[in-house]
Structure 1
Amino acid sequence: MRVAFIHPDLGIGGAERWLVDSALALKSLKHDIVIYTSHYDTTHCFDETTCMNVVCRGDWLPRSLFGRRCSTVCAYIRMIYLAFYIILFSPFSHEVIICDQISACIPILKLRKMRIVFYCHFPDMLLTQRKTALKKLYRAPIDKLEQYTTGMADRILVNSRFTLNIFRQTFTSLKSKYVDILYPSINTDNFDSMKPDRTLFNFYDPSKTYVLSLNRYERKKNINLVIETAHYFREHYYEYSWSDNVVFIVAGGYDSRVQENVEHYQELTSLAEKLNLTDDEIIFLKSPSDIEKVTLLDIASVLLYTPSGEHFGIGTRFVVPVEAMYMKTPVVAVNSGGPLETVVHGVTGYLSEPDAQNFARHLGNLLRQETPEFGENGRKRVNDNFSFGAFANKLNFFISES
């Protein structure tokens, strides 16, 4: 079967991770795969995409207007442009088109006889604030368009029970539309094929204990909590001899084109400096490669996952905690959103209130005690619930029965 993916920006975010894993899953089942995108930089993407058929069109279109404004409209325009390209100029014929994030392209794609599958990571209308009357006016037609065009898909998939409930509450006109749950997966074969290489990091010291945070440099990720936890840990766990050897690593996606990434990175490093955390106590890394990420998860004794109230969905919200469990690394995560369906409290890690005191307490419990069973439990949970094979078979069923 010829299957195409359409996506606005093939970078290294969570949605892109889902897309790449989905493409690999269907490719493993002998489907012909093409990815259409309006931006593709081989130096800023997941390594697997370099071995895929990627068609990039429309990169000349603006990402925003008047500074950082109208980014949503620009993203919609880029996706609609891609849809017209597929309909009018693409040399490939497709039986199924899978799109995610932006549904505005669906009416154009429906002009050709192709089945459309829309994967909803989370309703886009809930991902923006409306603090001004102008913003409310600007978003009103976009919100209506999102709901209407989403309903035009032949099949709708969501990533969790959590997102399904939000979908029903948000898209009230689609209550009669049947929606399936397809949990994201991690490509465990890809993980198994990459051997951690600790020589990649000149800071690595086998006598140290490493605590990892892996999130994009965005304010909504609440990475401040990692730094505040590091400070609280230093202030209140100093009496334990092993605490002197604990090093916190803050790593994540960073794009110099994205102003928030640049600003937030500076905010975080400034906060660490303000709290007197030295370079030996906290390390900041930008956009680690796949092998670097695997190595970081391998050397980490604990993963801290800090976003509060985020949806289950994409990338770091789902993938990083699950990847950590697959690498037998216990997780301390905020007790809301995605972790409620992935992390098992007291079994594969801890679910915590989103404050430095509670995070440090759970972290201390894991570091103070020998808890190898947490790692083994995490690996088993991933194999049982989020394996790549199960994901591939289920996705294949959904596109075949659309």
Structure 2
Amino acid sequence: MQTRLRIHQAYKDKAKARKEQDGAAAKKRRLKVVFLHPDLGIGGAERLVVDAAVSLQNQTLVPVEVTVVTNFHDPKRAFVETTDGTLKVLVRGRTNFPASIFGRAKALCADVRMMYAALSVCWTHYDTDAFVVDQVSAAMLVLSYFAPYTPRIFYCHFPDLMCDSNRKEDGTLVSAAPGHKTYRGMMDALEGAGMSMATCILCNSIFSRGVTVSTFPYVESLVDKRPLYPPVTPKADLPDLSKLDDRLRGMLERVQSHTTFVSINRYERKKNIGLAIEAFHKATQQEGVAWPKPPLLVVAGGYDNRLDENVSYGEELQKLARDTLQLSEDQVLFLRNISAATKEFLLTHMFALVYTPAMEHFGIAPVEAMLRARPVIAVNHGGPCESVMDVQKHPEEAAGILCAPTADAFAEAMLTLVKDEELAAKLSQQGERRATTVFSVAHCGDELAKRLELECNASMEKIIADLDAEAAQGGNTVPTEKKSH
């Protein structure tokens, strides 16, 4: 209760100061914004939140001070912006609560850890102007109680309920383990309850918004109709090959000397990386194809040996390529936890990106490829329909070929780009143009700043009205909450 009153008093003080200031002075005040994210690793979700935080910090419309609070941050396996001082990062809840209970209840533990992080940041950052939470909505339950006046934006990648690997497409559970249905029901209810405590919900694509509203219809009034597309990471410096060890230098030189297709995804089954390997095998088996350079597939992505799925799936992919399809290391190359410089080299010198996840809410890798003027092959469903667009439907805007998630369809798309250099060049140019406008860092930062300012203004007007009512009544008001959207 003491923490709640501290936060309430901080907002009252800001409101009183705002009443005494003119409009210009109020706009110069720096907003303190806290991002809450569970694990700052090197996955796509982490890239998204880091880019969003950096873009908000760098925009010039509204002065903003950004802090990122997380449960886990390993500087050796993290994006450079979180380690070089660009972003202020605080770790809360890592040692207080386990990540699982004997390998189980991972979702519950993630919720508890994030709720603890939210409680901790309410205590230490009681003067925060706005919170931005992503992935774990349970943190909203804590924030809404302790900081009812503070705007709480939930940035929704995709409902966790729909990401459960133990659930069929129709929503029913696969596992018949005792108690699992009750456990998942509790977690789903907790996710929905957390989202309902947000003052505003932003989605990273129109597709994500549709799934969110259909999954949790009671939060539709909180969900902004406009998506907040994540920004694409600016180009990094290319590595100096002469300074790399012989093995890595040899690998990267092969990328330059081959017609290289690249898959960039975390080593998770839902990413369907095996599809890229199978499609590549079919494409290389096609007779009569005049490859400009020998074909090569590079499978790269985040890999955490703490996660059983990463380990087992990595082994499965190796067996698929080496044993089942008899593809040698000269044909399929596996890389893990690549550096930003290595990733930049792959994106810059590859022939095309092969993006295999289905039901992907957005997918940042295709936009990264587009920025480097490289064509994309992706599944004709979900986020890529908005980011890449299909050349069949949008010939003058598309950045790639969208097709069914089958090896035959992907192989055909690969060969189409190899055979039609003019089409590949056109898609590359259109993708680069699209990436630098719709998905630029500046655009994302400006849009997020505008929405944060809107939420903060609405909250401040509410507390000023309460202060006026308190002065008129000569008493104290109890913190209440008004949701704006």
TM-score by length of 2: 0.78
1:304 aligns with 2:354: yes
Given candidates 70, 78, 88, the residue that maps to 1:53 is 88
- 1:273 corresponds to which residue? 322
1:240 aligns with 2:289: yes
Query: What per-residue deviation string (whole Å, max 9, x for no partner) do you get for residues 301-358 of structure 1?
Result: 011011122323xxxx2x1001101101101111111111111323421011111111
Contact 2:141–2:193 under 8 Å retained in 1: no
Note the C-alpha offset of 1:196: 5.6
Note the C-alpha offset of 1:208: 1.7
Given candidates 33, 36, 43, the residue that maps to 1:13 is 43
Question: 1:80-159, aligned counterparts within 5 Å?
Answer: 80-88=115-123, 90=124, 93-110=127-144, 111-112=146-147, 113-128=149-164, 129=167, 130-133=173-176, 134-159=179-204
| Distance (whole Å) between structure 1 residues aligned to residue 415 and residue 73 of structure 2 | 42
| Distance (whole Å) between structure 2 residues aligned to residue 266 and residue 114 of structure 1 | 47
- 1:322 corresponds to which residue? 367
- 2:250 corresponds to which residue? 202
- 1:160 corresponds to which residue? 205
Amino acid aligned to 1:79: M
Contact 1:198–1:295 under 8 Å retained in 2: no
Note the C-alpha offset of 1:244: 6.6
Amino acid aligned to 1:215: N
| Distance (whole Å) between structure 1 residues aligned to residue 222 and residue 160 of structure 2 | 18
- 1:342 corresponds to which residue? 387
Secondary structure of the corresponding residue to residue 8 of structure 1: strand
Question: 1:356-375, aligned counterparts within 5 Å?
Answer: 356-370=407-421, 371-375=424-428
Residue ranges of structure 2 left out of the alignment (5+ in a row) = 1-30, 168-172, 392-397, 456-485
Query: What per-residue deviation string (whole Å, max 9, x for no partner) do you get for residues 120-146 of structure 1?
Result: 111111111222352211011221121
Amino acid aligned to 1:194: D
Runs of 4+ displaced beyond 6 Å: none
Question: 1:222-237, aligned counterparts within 5 Å?
Answer: 222-237=272-287
Contact 2:33–2:66 under 8 Å retained in 1: yes
| Distance (whole Å) between structure 2 residues aligned to residue 229 and residue 171 of structure 1 | 36
Contact 1:233–1:360 under 8 Å retained in 2: yes
Secondary structure of the corresponding residue to residue 179 of structure 1: coil
1:377 aligns with 2:438: no
- 2:464 corresponds to which residue? none
Amino acid aligned to 1:321: P
Contact 1:98–1:116 under 8 Å retained in 2: yes
| Distance (whole Å) between structure 1 residues aligned to residue 428 and residue 293 of structure 2 | 23
Quick one: percent identity of the two aligned structures? 38
Amino acid aligned to 2:237: M
Cα distance change, pair 138–352 in 1 and its aligned pair in 2 (3 A): same
Cα distance change, pair 197–295 in 1 and its aligned pair in 2 (3 A): farther
Note the C-alpha offset of 1:375: 1.1
| Distance (whole Å) between structure 2 residues aligned to residue 87 and residue 6 of structure 1 | 12
Note the C-alpha offset of 1:35: 1.0
| Distance (whole Å) between structure 2 residues aligned to residue 264 and residue 179 of structure 1 | 37
Residue ranges of structure 1 left out of the alignment (5+ in a row) = none
- 1:186 corresponds to which residue? 232
Query: What per-residue deviation string (whole Å, max 9, x for no partner) do you get for residues 274-295 of structure 1?
Result: 2110110110000111111111
Contact 2:204–2:361 under 8 Å retained in 1: no
Given candidates 216, 221, 226, the residue that maps to 1:171 is 216
Note the C-alpha offset of 1:105: 1.2
Contact 1:197–1:295 under 8 Å retained in 2: no
Note the C-alpha offset of 1:197: 4.8
Contact 2:196–2:219 under 8 Å retained in 1: yes
1:22 aligns with 2:58: no
Deviates more, 1:384-393 or 1:214-223: 384-393
Note the C-alpha offset of 1:243: 6.8
Amino acid aligned to 1:58: G
1:282 aligns with 2:315: no
Deviates more, 1:375-384 or 1:200-209: 200-209
| Distance (whole Å) between structure 1 residues aligned to residue 56 and residue 221 of structure 2 | 29
Answer with 1 or 2: which has the greater Rg.
2
Contact 1:210–1:246 under 8 Å retained in 2: yes
1:251 aligns with 2:300: yes
How many residue pairs get aligned? The number is: 391
- 2:450 corresponds to which residue? 397
Contact 2:100–2:109 under 8 Å retained in 1: yes
Deviates more, 1:321-330 or 1:350-359: 350-359
| Distance (whole Å) between structure 2 residues aligned to residue 16 and residue 240 of structure 1 | 39
